[in-house]
């Protein structure tokens, strides 16, 4: 008997199926349904509320692209806040930057961190680094309570349902703006340009109303619906397309490089139209 998991519902009318070879863990946490499964083509995966969060095969694309573009745009990022991202993938990339002195992860669901450490050590491996502090609380509240503190804020959130709804709202973006220092950079995962044509322009308007430099960039992620994914950046001072990358590190990245850093901002016409709506 073959076992298939299908992500469905987040994009009405679309299903994304993978063959599961083993269910390693399943539970209902305080916040969501959590599953860790081995799959035939994407390796081990983390699912939350029946939606794909990450897979061993393609996680590098998302985690590198949400982290290094902002960290290499800022001349000296020391203090970084990651909201969501309990699997640890963003933290793993952030602490590759030697300038980073402190990285704070604010994840609402303790079980995401605990199960990722147990079943996804390749992704969670940075979480025990001495520069990293892991807090279990709502990122919306945390952002509200901090002012003028961070060089970079990265929102690695679930889709805008359940506890993540507020992470896509204007009041949260304003809190992040205020939590950043005067030359800080904000970046968030902002869903699919094919399937979220209403959400992306709204996010764009919110970010543009706050930051002098607002940009969208793309990466391709086979396990997310549509395969093409947007990230939205708001920057108080530094332009990610104008930055001189010649002295910036690329580490052992598998997707990110200096050419991709610049090329990711080149948008197809339909995405340009979307963000200028
Ligand atoms: N690294 C890719 C994985 C994720 S998971 C996003 C995390 O955000 C989840 O662990 C979830 O518990 C956490 N989260 C949701 N809401 C909040 C909140 N209000 N405060 C703090 N953490 C929160 C991203 C996958 C993207 C999927 C795209 N389809």
Residue bearing the CA closest to ligand 1, atom 17 = 164
How many Å apart are CA 217 and CA 199, to the nearest integer?
15
How many Å apart are CA 83 and CA 140, to the nearest integer?
9
Residue 191 half-sphere exposure, CB side, CA atoms within 13 Å? 24
Å from CA of 156 to ligand 1 middle? 6
**The pair of three-digit structure tokens given for residue 34, joined into one six-digit string:** 């959590």
Residues annotated within a binding site for S-methyl-5'-thioadenosine:
32, 107, 138-139, 163
Spatial contact of 234 and 212, defined as CB atoms under 8 Å apart: no
Query: pLDDT at position 173, please?
Result: 98
How many Å apart are CA 112 and CA 213, to the nearest integer?
33
Instruction: Enumerate domains of the chain plus CATH numbers.
Output: 3-55 (2.30.140.10), 59-275 (3.40.50.150)
Residue bearing the CA closest to ligand 1, atom 1 = 85
Residue bearing the CA closest to ligand 1, atom 8 = 84
Query: pLDDT at position 228, please?
Result: 97
112 pocket-lining for ligand 1 (C-beta < 6 Å): yes
**The pair of three-digit structure tokens given for residue 277, joined into one six-digit string:** 């709506």
- In terms of Cα–Cα distance, which of 180, 172, 189 is closest to 152? 180
114 pocket-lining for ligand 1 (C-beta < 6 Å): no
Give me the interface pTM, i.e. the ipTM.
0.99
84 pocket-lining for ligand 1 (C-beta < 6 Å): yes
Where would I find the beta strands (DSSP E) of the chain?
A: 3-8, 15-28, 33-39, 43-48, 51-55, 79-84, 102-107, 132-136, 150-156, 180-189, 213-220, 228-235
Residue bearing the CA closest to ligand 1, atom 15 = 164
Question: Looking at residue 164, what DSSP letter applies?
Answer: G
108 pocket-lining for ligand 1 (C-beta < 6 Å): yes
Residues annotated within a binding site:
32, 63, 87, 107, 138-139, 156-159, 163
Residue 265: which residues within 8 A CB-CB, separation 6 or more?
215, 216, 217, 240, 241
What are the average pLDDT values for consecutive 10-residue runs of the chain, which has 277 residues?
93 95 98 98 97 98 98 98 98 98 98 98 98 98 98 97 94 98 98 96 97 98 97 98 93 96 98 94
Catalytic sites, residue numbers: 156
Å from CA of 147 to ligand 1 middle? 23
**The pair of three-digit structure tokens given for residue 205, joined into one six-digit string:** 């308007």
Which single residue is written with the structure tokens 């530094």?
Answer: 238
Å from CA of 244 to ligand 1 middle? 32
How many Å apart are CA 187 and CA 237, to the nearest integer?
14
Give rounded-to-5 percent helix, strand, coil for the chain.
30, 30, 40
Dihedral sign from CA coordinates of 141, 67, 123, 55: positive
Q: Work out whether strand 102-107 and strand 150-156 pair parallel, antiparallel, or are unpaired.
A: unpaired
Å from CA of 53 to ligand 1 middle? 8
């Amino acid at each position: 008997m073959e076992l298939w998991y299908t992500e469905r519902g987040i994009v009405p009318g679309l299903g994304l199926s993978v063959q599961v070879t083993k269910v390693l863990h399943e539970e209902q946490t305080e916040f969501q349904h959590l599953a860790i499964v081995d799959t035939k083509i994407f390796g081990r995966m983390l699912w939350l509320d029946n939606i794909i969060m990450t897979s061993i095969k393609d996680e590098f694309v998302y985690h590198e692209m949400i982290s290094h573009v902002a960290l290499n745009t800022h001349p000296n990022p020391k203090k970084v806040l990651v909201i969501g991202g309990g699997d640890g993938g963003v933290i793993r990339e952030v602490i590759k930057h030697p300038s980073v002195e402190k990285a704070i992860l604010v994840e609402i669901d303790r079980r995401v961190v605990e199960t990722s450490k147990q079943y996804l050590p390749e992704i969670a491996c940075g979480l025990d680094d001495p520069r990293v502090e892991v807090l279990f609380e709502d990122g919306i509240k945390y952002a509200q309570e901090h002012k003028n503190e961070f060089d970079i804020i990265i929102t690695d959130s679930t889709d805008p349902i359940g506890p993540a709804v507020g992470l896509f709202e204007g009041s949260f973006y304003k809190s992040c703006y205020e939590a950043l220092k005067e030359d800080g950079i904000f970046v968030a995962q902002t869903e699919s340009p094919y399937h979220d044509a209403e959400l992306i322009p709204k996010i764009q308007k919110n970010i543009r109303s706050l930051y002098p430099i607002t940009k969208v960039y793309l990466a391709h992620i086979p396990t997310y619906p549509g395969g093409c994914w947007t990230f939205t950046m708001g920057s108080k001072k530094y332009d990610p397309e104008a930055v001189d990358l010649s002295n910036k590190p690329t580490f052992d990245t598998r997707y990110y490089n200096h050419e991709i850093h610049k090329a990711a901002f080149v948008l197809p016409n339909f995405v340009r139209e979307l963000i200028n709506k």
